[in-house]
Amino acid sequence: MKSLSIDDRLAKNRFDSDDHNPHIIVDKNACKTCNHRACTYSCPAERYKWDTVNDLLSFDHVGCLECGNCRLVCERLKQGIDGYSWDYPSFGKGIIFREG
Amino acid sequence: MADERFQVIVIGAGVAGSAAAYRLAKAGREVLLIDRGKAPGAKNMTGGRLYTYALKALLPDEWQEAPFEREVTREMMMMMTPQSSIAIDSTFSVKNQLSYTVLRAKLDAWLAAKAEEAGAMLVPASTVDGLMLKEGKVCGVRIGDEELEADLVISAEGVNPLVFERAGIIKPVENSNVALGIKHVFRLPEAVINDRFNTGSDQGVAILCAGECTKGISGGAFLYTNKDSISLGLVVDSLSWKNSKLPIADIAEALKQHPAIGRYIEGGELVEYSAHLIPEGGIAALPQLYGNGFMVAGDAAGFVVNSGLTVRGMDYAILSGIAAAETAEEAINSGNYSRTALKSYEDRLKQSVLKDMETFKNAHDYMAHTQHVFTTYPMLAANLMESIYHVDGSPSKRVLGTVREAVAGKIPYFNVFKDMLKGARSL
């Protein structure tokens, strides 16, 4: 079976994305001090990547599957400290599972 | 001043919430069912298989109209090494309709429609932002600037119960108490699935895998046949995975390439890639289940039992929805919505959900801490099978000798004995 990149896999899904209001907020600069960066390998949609050129986290909420795993592997998201918050999208935005 | 007033507000139109709303609406109660998805089911995902007894209890005359995929009549257990696998296969001739494969987008929409037909008011595409509290009692919900009042609020908001967590009413979900599920759905013609799995059109297969699929991390893989698609997925313990530092999306992709799996999905077109958390903390992780003006049901309450060989959540979700509705009925009749009045919710759960959770209270710990189950044993089993059937003319050994050779150096006999004993007591 052909291997699919994460973008190819996500492209099969239906999203009604709220491009301008991210439901998850992270402080990319503050993330530099994180010692595990679990978000970069625990997100099934690979929305968190470590940009090694700029030594900075890159995050895109569009394509998020809303599983909530990042909220639990990241202490800062979990506690909702300054610069970090995790919410579900409003008004039915975000992932729309057609199979589920 | 609240804009609207209901007898009961249910947060979440998954199977727990819709079951509760259906029961209450049938009894003539004013019930509001709120879901954050554009339509019920849009945010939900299952492996998945539904054990039907709970749906029968809710809808004795109509449960067979539910949008089932296939009745599970063939169960397989598979152990995988990087290149090999061995499986235990079975065929059951009795069609007893005990369980069906399902897809949540269809199932949840159907069940929510039943609640609506019965008279519940369904409001989709609305995310509850917070609760209204008065003198320590939950008395409604907030959506944006709007306030909706109710005598009782039932949280069926799912595995991430943000509303109740943030209100400080239930303890927050911990990383150590959830598993992460990732699923691919591949479209294949119905006839191809029938041929490939040797089944009739309405019958299907459930395959449970352990070993290489999770790279030895606590968890497993599953494969279910739907009518004209195959659900293939991976479930891993979230905390163990965090500690493993392995890239989860790549491991999910690699599952497709394993020779034991690839042959089943060959030619299938990926139609959806989804992910969802599963509460797996068991009875020790249960939050407060009821209190002044509220009850918690389904995944929000952590009602999932992973016995090691079966994972059940949707049936308990429906049962807890029914129990919450029955308790709400009593409370409405007596006009008492206090914690004391709602205690009978727990009594009802003790006859079903909580009883099973008590039985399997050690299963999660056993699976999470008995690493050999996911690494050494699949390897041993596959190696043993291979050596038994590998005949090339060199001197033969009796089976016991082959077993000793397969085990030698990999794991002390005593550990095998200990794992078996502990397993027998926990699973």
Predicted confidence (pLDDT) per residue in B356-389, tens digit: 999 988 887 777 677 777 777 777 777 777 777 8
Domains (range + CATH), chain B: 4-62+104-171+287-359 (3.50.50.60), 365-426 (no CATH)
* CATH code, domain with A80: 3.30.70
Assigned domain for A7 exists: no
Task: Nearest chain B residue to A40 by CA: give it.
Answer: B247
Assigned domain for A49 exists: yes
Assigned domain for A36 exists: yes
B107-150 residue pLDDT tens: 999 999 999 999 999 999 999 999 999 999 999 999 999 999 99
The answer to whether the Cβ–Cβ distance between A97 and B245 falls below 8 Å is: no
Within 10 angstroms of residue B251's Cβ, the number of other Cβ atoms is 22
Helix or strand run (H / E) with residue B76: strand B71-80
Q: How far is A54 from chain B (nearest CA, A)?
A: 21
| β partners of residue B223 | B207, B232
Lookup: tokens for B392: 């090339």
pLDDT at B1: 44
A34 touches chain B (CB under 8 A): no
Alpha-helical (H) ranges within B96-183 are 104-117, 162-166
B205-234 residue pLDDT tens: 999 999 888 998 889 999 999 999 999 999
pLDDT at B391: 83
Report pTM.
0.93
> Which chain B positions have a beta carbon within 8 Å of A13's beta carbon?
272-274
Residues 6+ apart with CB under 8 A from B138: B131, B132, B152, B153, B167, B169, B291, B292, B293, B294
Mapped onto helix, strand or coil, the DSSP state of residue B324 is helix
For residue A56, the enclosing domain spans: 22-96
Residues of chain B with pLDDT under 70: 1-3, 94-95, 368, 406, 409, 411, 413, 417, 421, 427
> Which chain B positions have a beta carbon within 8 Å of A72's beta carbon?
173-175, 178, 238, 277
Assigned domain for A57 exists: yes
Q: Report chain A's terminal Cα–Cα distance, integer Å.
A: 22
pLDDT at B255: 95
Confidence of residue A11 (pLDDT cuts 50, 70, 90): very high
> Per the structure, how many domains does chain A have?
1
Assigned domain for A12 exists: no
Assigned domain for A91 exists: yes
Task: Nearest chain B residue to A16 by CA: give it.
Answer: B38
Taking the alpha carbons of B100, B44, B220, B318 in that order, is the dihedral positive or negative?
negative
Burial class (CB in 10 A: 0-12, 13-18, 19+), B399: exposed
